[in-house]
Amino acid sequence: MSKQKTKMLLSGNEAIARGILEAGVDIAAAYPGTPSTEIMGTIAIFGKETGMHAEWSINEKVAFEVALGASWSGLRSFTAAKHVGLNVAADSFFTAALFGGMKGGFVMTIADDPSFHSSQNEQDTRMYALAAHAICMEPSTPQEALDMIKYAYEFSEKWESLVILRSTTRLSHSRGPVELGEIPPNKDNHKGEFVKDPAKFVCLPGNARRTKPLLLAKMEELKDYACNSKWNVVEEGKDPLLIITSGVSYTYVKDAIQEMGINPTIYKIGFSNPLPEAKIIEFLKKHPKCLIAEEVEPYLELNVKALAAENRIQVKIYGRKEKVIPISNELNPLILIEAISKVMDKKVEGIDEKLPTLGEINEQLPNRPPELCAGCPHRATYYAIKRASRKRSLKPIMPGDIGCYTLGFMPPLNSVDTTVAMGASIGIANGIAQATNQVVIPVIGDSTFFHTGIPPLINAIVNNAKFTLVIMDNRTTAMTGFQPTPETGKGAFGDPTGIVTIEQVVKGLGIKNLHIIDPYDLDNAIDVIGKTLDSGELSVIISRRDCALEYIRKMRKAKKELDKYYTDEEICIGCRTCVRSFACPAITFDDEKKKSHVDESMCMGCGVCRILCPVDAFTKR
């Protein structure tokens, strides 16, 4: 990526990363989580040249605190997370917003995920900003994301406040032309100095009672500041309709009104907390109708309606509460065209009276559910758990967690009974083990175990909860793009780091019943899991095997050929065990021949099919 001024086609996440580099940030820390992952991923590629420190932290709370400590030491700092990642950092976030004291600019990008593309919920970061009295800004395009990041650092240092830059999936992953600025020259010493100030940094109740009124007064002052902010843009129109919007929703509005050939007044809010209340009141008085276009929660809508009611303004306000705009999922130009048509009672020529919803469009597409990759060690682990349980006539409860292995929920494995949040599989297993006499087998990934799995395991030890924990260790953070884990010994820049293994942690906690298995060694895996279940004690099994995709990369790098398997049709009896119970995507069944078939272009040679086949019909080529 060029260090000089030029123009490039960048995604929103790449533009944010470029803004971080152009702002001269000294320390960046994050935990991967779609749709925010590529921000730190891009910094990890290009940031080393600037001399900055960048790290994949163990979780979002630690990443936030790394950035906070750097800011309090006078350095510009950054952290990024997906919306649910802010839940993990929330404890520190709320207190840091209250106490402020940012000496070096502190900006955090939180990427929301409307339509649940890769998340368990749709929460709206603006609600966090409102509750914490934190500054929140919303870019609409990749260009605005880059420019806003740089501005946010200046703002943060002027007001000694942390700033949230709220993105969404569509902005994070869409691309647009971006005018780049210059990256400042490398600093020789990215070191600051922490100056002791207990009244500002020691968050005792007495200090908090003194700080809260100061924060509220600052936010009141910033309401006037927001009214004149260059990020809150008015586009005067001739039609009587007023549209108030923010973030990427603004781009949908622009597409919709262009398609409809109308000219409403648009107020695009980029500085969304605190809101520019005086400006909003001014516009409401001029227009009989107002449409609020936003994702996810009716944040703007509720605030605008409150302002209208408090000031007795006669204006009809439409949004999600009136169901003119859908109450969930992403917006798009079609949805906005339909909403504007309803509000203006205007039929648009050339557009169907009933426009299809996103759900209706998706129903017309082929159903392609996600599945574990061919050769994925998680599939073999689940199969081994099921075989070991079936031999003992057990029907275990299997709390799952967040990661690739969540796909164990899909048939025919059907091996995930709950999924809530990072680390929750072990916490929920604690509760089920205490509440029932059922056999409980929580499953969790290696990165997730380090993220938030250790405290609930300690809880199980302390409270005598009995279950068998299976940690699926594929040696990487696979779901979000193969970021390093504490076991890999590599940092964000690829430099050597300290190493912490899962077994070190488990042994350090005093758990004696610890086993390490290779899921490709299926018979042994089934035997070990079975004996562990027989013990009835709190046990930990580490199922360790490289992620299949990483294994393929390693083999290609070493210029080695992958093993391939095929079906010996003379031996195959057409029992369908391979497809009915295991369902590797590389294996299909030929209904005419009544034989299984291996797609060798997908096969990566794990050989598990050969072990599970009752007649040994799979042969290595």
What are φ and ψ of residue 117, in 5° steps?
Answer: -60, -40
Asked if residue 385 lies in contact with residue 522, where contact means CB atoms within 8 angstroms, the answer is no
Q: Which of 370, 457, 380 is nearest to 34 (CA)?
A: 370
Q: In this structure, which long-range contacts are made by residues 362-368, counting pairs with CB atoms below 8 Å and at least 24 apart in sequence?
A: none
ω before 412 within 30° of 0 (cis)? yes
In angstroms, rounded to a whole number, what is the distance separating the alpha carbons of residues 213 and 221? 12
Sign for the CA dihedral angle at 283, 289, 291, 292 comes to positive
What are φ and ψ of residue 389, in 5° steps?
Answer: -70, -40
Would you state the pLDDT for residue 346? 77
Q: Strand, helix or coil at 576?
A: coil
Of the candidate CATH numbers 3.65.10.10, 2.60.40.1120, 3.10.450.350, 3.40.50.920, the domain formed by 232-357 belongs to 3.40.50.920
In angstroms, rounded to a whole number, what is the distance separating the alpha carbons of residues 546 and 553? 11
What tokens appear for 396 in the block? Answer: 């275990």
In angstroms, rounded to a whole number, what is the distance separating the alpha carbons of residues 300 and 342? 20
Would you state the pLDDT for residue 354? 54
In angstroms, rounded to a whole number, what is the distance separating the alpha carbons of residues 126 and 165? 10
* Range 416-447 burial, b when 16+ CB lie within 10 A, else e: bbbbebbbbbbbbbbebbeeeeebbbbbbbbb
Number of helices followed by number of strands (H, E) in the chain = 23, 22
Based on C-alpha coordinates, what's the Rg of the chain?
A: 27
**∠ CA 55-140-147, rounded to 5°:** 60
Q: Where are the domains of the chain?
A: 6-187+195-227, 232-357, 377-557, 565-620
In angstroms, rounded to a whole number, what is the distance separating the alpha carbons of residues 93 and 68? 9
The CATH code that applies to domain 565-620 is 3.30.70.20
Asked if residue 386 lies in contact with residue 530, where contact means CB atoms within 8 angstroms, the answer is no
6-187+195-227 shares its CATH topology with 377-557: yes
3-state DSSP: the chain helix, strand, coil percent, rounded to 5?
40, 20, 40
* pTM of structure: 0.92
Low-confidence spans in the chain with pLDDT less than 70: 1-4, 348-363
Topology of the domain covering 377-557: Rossmann fold (3.40.50)
What tokens appear for 239 in the block? Answer: 């039609």
- Architecture field, domain 6-187+195-227: 3-Layer(aba) Sandwich (3.40)
